[in-house]
Chains A and B, each alone.
Chain A
Amino acid sequence: MTQLPYAVDAETPLNAAELNVLRAQYEKEGEMVGVQTKFNYAWGLVKSNVRADQHLGVMLLSEIFRTSPERRRECLYYLALGNYKLGNYAQARKYNDALLENEPANLQAANLRALIDDKVTKEGLMGVAIISGVAVAAGVIGGVLLRNLGRKR
């Protein structure tokens, strides 16, 4: 059995009923909630497509990270994954790199790093395309204006 889920797993949301079961369990245990229950709920939230849920999930994960040192290593991966889903690539990269530093052979983490790199490049290219498009348009308009000015003179 795999120790860690691949990033694809995070993209498949649970249905509402399942998430409710996890939430109910989490709320039932109240203040003395166990790590596993907390994680179950957090992971269910991270898998969700709703941004607010994902935020809450990441927050719970960071709580687990802070409170149970023996789970830190695993949590790094989930934090990275959660932040990746949120689009916080800088954070995601920070956590993932920290994990890879400890477990260089971790396939899931390597895979996630590749995904982050991809996303960053893609979105970066798109940003450049937009900016350059705007720049070209501005140049054209500016050129036209200049020419018009020149003609008037």
Chain B
Amino acid sequence: MANSDQNRDAFPDDVSIDDDTSVISTRGFEAFGRKVTTTASHLIGPITDPTSHPHYQSAMTEIHKQLQKPTLQRSVFAIARTTPTDLVRSKLSSKEIQSRALAYVPDELLRNIPASSNSYSLFQGFQASFPEFHDEGKKHKRRVSRGRKMLDERPVDPGSPHAVQRLKKDKTSMEHQLEMLGVRKNMASSEIREIDNKIANLHGMRKIILDRLANLEKEEAVLEHDIMDVESRLDEAQELADEAESLAMETPNKSEEDLSRTEEGFMSQSIYEKLPAANTPPGKKKPRNHRKKTLPILHEHFEPGTMIRSMRAHQDNITALDFDAPFGLMVSAAMDDSVRVWDLNAGRCIGTLEGHTASVRTLQVEDNFLATGSMDATIKLWDLSKAHYDPQGSQEVDEEDEDLAFVNPDDHAVDPPAGSMADCPLFTLEAHLDEITALHFRGDVLVSGSADKTLRQWDLTKGRCVQTLDVMWAAAQATAMGSSDGPWRQTSRSADGSADFVGALQVFESALACGTADGMVRLWDLRSGQVHRSLVGHTGPVTCLQFDDVHLVTGSLDRSIRIWDLRTGSIFDAYAYDHPITSMMFDTRRIVCAAGEDVVKVYDKVEGRHWDCGAGITEAEKAKSPAIIERVRIRDGYMVEGRQDGVVGVWTC
């Protein structure tokens, strides 16, 4: 047996060297006893490293140590593992016991000790980082020593032994410094690795939580739908109860009984009152705006520029599109004269809106209301909440394209049931003489711009035209007044007649902004019907505009985006792309543009950064070129773009 052989070798060595003690000394016995124990423990315990012989080496070190000690100390107490004070402390002092418990390391961990693969030890790291604490002093010293060196160098004879000694000392200290630097370098790199690991872990956690969020949102949508269902049933029941009450006035007892029974059947009164939609006035069949209750936030956590969905909405060039909220309802119109309503959450077509006799050029969705302006010179208003659509219905069909899955844009969506939109049309506004090219509504005010060179203001409660604004008259008026704004100028770019006379409109209470084909942006006061300011700058027809409380942003066929300061009427910022801008919209952070390319041009206002987002980037790797983007809309970082081939893409921004 190899172990015992080695021990036999070791033991006589021990004795023969230590010749002034008798063979029967306590030390000899004790050493023998220990060796037997170590051997035994090695035989019994798992062999961690079979290649080396640790027991042999440990035996040797022990002998070595024993030889160095005075004989007196090797007494009976050497067998004891610890001292009486330690024993007393560990058994009696509660504070000590507490700290021992905190610092306790389980035995299985003690056994599991991997070989260290670190390029530097912790102590080296400690030593290396320690000088940093007195950085100033150190630097100072170094500079001094360097200065002294330079001073000393001259008087001392370089050949003298003194100089040699000093140089040697310098060399060693510099080598030491170099070594330190090496350790510090290793420290930094390993720290970076540690941080990388942490980042990777956090990324994993983020992914898990993102999945959780997606699930929660899905559940939320389902529950919301259920609530809507219950609410509509409750409304019906309420109506029935009211009817019963009015019918049976003389017998109040019975009707009351009825009422309480029906209510209990659905939901207790207290819960009903807590619901936000409880304020809905009776008489309305459905809650007007159910989508405001929950706000989808999932898209905010995606990497900017991630595709959420892509769908083939039409077979032809998209001419207009808008949506009410992220993952809400989208309405798209194309050259093929159709207007479709989409559920962005499921990526499904809810229905087609029939009514216009020509293709829709412009539309706007706000809450559940939709306004469409068509080439047939009419404007139609629709109530989308009247659509017969069950968000949970036919889910089995869509099961495979769950929330984020890509939907093949060439797959034609399942056709919606015919007549699902039959209840939607509210009324039609007819007064314009030529095609409607722009419209905007806010509250009860709708303004429209037409190729007949007029703007009209409509009252949506009465459904009537309130005011007609003649752009040409305003332009002529401006010349007559001799203002610097000048008369109507036909820009060279619109000479081919392709540009719309009124490119864009936006209304806010009595303020109206309109961009026209002469490149002018006019700000009207609806109370007086006068232009109170003209913004001159664009050299091509204005195609899009939007303002908030401070800035007005306009895009034009002259390829530029201009940001105006509404208070002063001066240019605040401007930038240009390579092609004419056909569509633009901004939210709190980004200005997105469709500029005749297969990508959407995004300008990040916060970071001041321009970047591209869209199919042109991802498809470029596959050597495919998607169609040019025609229209783009953005709300809260949720962007929808419509292309010339009828495909609609949804992205995070």
Give residues in A with beta carbon < 8 Å to B: 1-5, 18, 21-22, 32, 34-36, 39-40, 43, 55, 58-59, 61-62, 65-66, 69-76, 78-79, 87-91, 93-95, 98, 100-102, 104-105, 110, 113-114, 117-125, 127-128
Contact yes or no, B194 A123, CB < 8 A: no
Closest chain-A Cβ to B38's Cβ sits at a distance in Å of: 9
Which of B74-82, B478-486, B541-549, B636-644 lies at the binding interface? B74-82
Closest chain-B Cβ to A88's Cβ sits at a distance in Å of: 6
Contact yes or no, B82 A35, CB < 8 A: no
| Residues of chain B lying within 8 A (CB to CB) of residue A75 | 122
Q: A110-B65, A124-B77, A128-B77 are in contact. Are A65 and B83 (CB under 8 A)?
A: no
Contact yes or no, A123 B113, CB < 8 A: no
A90 to B104, CA, bound (A): 13
Contact yes or no, B179 A1, CB < 8 A: yes
Contact yes or no, A69 B133, CB < 8 A: no
A101 to B450, CA, bound (A): 92
| Residues of chain B lying within 8 A (CB to CB) of residue A35 | 122, 194
Contact yes or no, A70 B77, CB < 8 A: no
Instruction: Select from chain B the residue with minimum beta-carbon distance to A57.
Output: B103
Q: A39-B125, A98-B110, A125-B75 are in contact. Are A70 and B117 (CB under 8 A)?
A: yes
The reply on B198 being an interface residue by CB < 8 A is yes
A125 to B81, CA, bound (A): 13
| Residues of chain B lying within 8 A (CB to CB) of residue A104 | 52, 54-55, 57-58, 61
The reply on B183 being an interface residue by CB < 8 A is yes
Closest chain-A Cβ to B413's Cβ sits at a distance in Å of: 48
| Residues of chain A lying within 8 A (CB to CB) of residue B160 | none
| Residues of chain B lying within 8 A (CB to CB) of residue A71 | 116, 118, 122
| Residues of chain A lying within 8 A (CB to CB) of residue B126 | 36, 39-40, 43
A39 to B114, CA, bound (A): 19
For the A-B complex with A36-B122, A71-B118 known, give 8 more contacts whose Cβ atoms are closer than 8 Å: A1-B176, A39-B125, A72-B109, A73-B116, A76-B113, A89-B83, A120-B78, A124-B77
Contact yes or no, B118 A123, CB < 8 A: no
A130 to B75, CA, bound (A): 16
Instruction: Select from chain A the residue with minimum beta-carbon distance to B133.
Output: A21
The reply on B85 being an interface residue by CB < 8 A is yes
| Residues of chain A lying within 8 A (CB to CB) of residue B346 | none
Contact yes or no, B121 A4, CB < 8 A: yes
A119 to B73, CA, bound (A): 10
Contact residues of B: prevailing secondary structure: helix
A88 to B198, CA, bound (A): 36
Contact yes or no, A2 B123, CB < 8 A: yes
Q: A36-B187, A89-B86 are in contact. Are A120 and B104 (CB under 8 A)?
A: no
- List which B120-142 residues lie within 8 A (CB) of chain A: 121-127, 129-130, 133
Out of B110, B116, B130, name the residue touching A70 (CB < 8 Å): B116
Q: A72-B113, A104-B57 are in contact. Are A62 and B77 (CB under 8 A)?
A: no
Contact yes or no, A88 B179, CB < 8 A: no
| Residues of chain B lying within 8 A (CB to CB) of residue A43 | 122-123, 126
Contact yes or no, A87 B105, CB < 8 A: no
The reply on B100 being an interface residue by CB < 8 A is yes
Q: A36-B122, A59-B99 are in contact. Are A69 and B83 (CB under 8 A)?
A: no
Minimum-distance CB pairs A-B, first 3 = A124-B77, A104-B57, A123-B83
Instruction: Select from chain A the residue with minimum beta-carbon distance to B106.
Output: A66
The reply on B395 being an interface residue by CB < 8 A is no
Contact yes or no, B77 A36, CB < 8 A: no
Contact yes or no, B77 A120, CB < 8 A: yes
Contact yes or no, A72 B114, CB < 8 A: yes
Contact yes or no, A61 B103, CB < 8 A: yes
Contact yes or no, A118 B83, CB < 8 A: no
The reply on B464 being an interface residue by CB < 8 A is no
Contact yes or no, B104 A62, CB < 8 A: yes
The reply on B84 being an interface residue by CB < 8 A is yes
The reply on B90 being an interface residue by CB < 8 A is yes
Q: A3-B121, A119-B83 are in contact. Are A66 and B103 (CB under 8 A)?
A: no
Contact yes or no, A88 B105, CB < 8 A: no
A94 to B55, CA, bound (A): 16
A101 to B115, CA, bound (A): 12
Instruction: Select from chain B the residue with minimum beta-carbon distance to A77.
Output: B123
The reply on B239 being an interface residue by CB < 8 A is no
The reply on B89 being an interface residue by CB < 8 A is yes
Contact yes or no, A89 B81, CB < 8 A: yes
| Residues of chain A lying within 8 A (CB to CB) of residue B130 | 18, 40
Contact yes or no, A120 B103, CB < 8 A: no
Out of A3, A58, A121, name the residue touching B73 (CB < 8 Å): A121
A119 to B77, CA, bound (A): 11
The reply on B191 being an interface residue by CB < 8 A is yes
A-B contact pairs, 26 of them (CB 8 A): A4-B123, A22-B133, A36-B187, A43-B123, A65-B105, A69-B114, A71-B116, A72-B112, A72-B114, A76-B110, A87-B83, A87-B85, A87-B86, A88-B89, A89-B86, A90-B86, A93-B81, A100-B61, A101-B58, A102-B48, A102-B54, A104-B58, A105-B61, A120-B83, A121-B73, A125-B73
The 0/1 profile, CB within 8 Å of A marked 1, for residues 514-530 of chain B is 00000000000000000
| Residues of chain A lying within 8 A (CB to CB) of residue B102 | 59, 62
| Residues of chain B lying within 8 A (CB to CB) of residue A21 | 133
Contact yes or no, A123 B85, CB < 8 A: yes
The reply on B68 being an interface residue by CB < 8 A is yes
Out of A36, A59, A118, A119, name the residue touching B129 (CB < 8 Å): A36
Q: A4-B123, A36-B125 are in contact. Are A124 and B83 (CB under 8 A)?
A: yes
Closest chain-B Cβ to A5's Cβ sits at a distance in Å of: 5
Closest chain-A Cβ to B84's Cβ sits at a distance in Å of: 4
Contact yes or no, B82 A90, CB < 8 A: yes
A113 to B103, CA, bound (A): 20
Closest chain-B Cβ to A50's Cβ sits at a distance in Å of: 13
A21 to B77, CA, bound (A): 43
Instruction: Select from chain B the residue with minimum beta-carbon distance to A78.
Output: B122
| Residues of chain B lying within 8 A (CB to CB) of residue A32 | 198
Closest chain-A Cβ to B316's Cβ sits at a distance in Å of: 55
A1 to B114, CA, bound (A): 23
A139 to B256, CA, bound (A): 103
Closest chain-B Cβ to A108's Cβ sits at a distance in Å of: 10
Closest chain-A Cβ to B180's Cβ sits at a distance in Å of: 8
| Residues of chain B lying within 8 A (CB to CB) of residue A94 | 110
Contact yes or no, A58 B187, CB < 8 A: no
Out of B52, B84, B133, name the residue touching A18 (CB < 8 Å): B133
Q: A35-B194, A55-B99, A104-B61 are in contact. Are A66 and B122 (CB under 8 A)?
A: no
Interface centre among A5, A90, A120, by most B CB within 10 Å?
A120
A39 to B83, CA, bound (A): 29
| Residues of chain A lying within 8 A (CB to CB) of residue B114 | 69-70, 72-73
| Residues of chain B lying within 8 A (CB to CB) of residue A69 | 112-114
Contact yes or no, B194 A34, CB < 8 A: yes
Out of A36, A55, A62, A118, name the residue touching B105 (CB < 8 Å): A62
Contact yes or no, B125 A40, CB < 8 A: yes
| Residues of chain B lying within 8 A (CB to CB) of residue A93 | 81-82
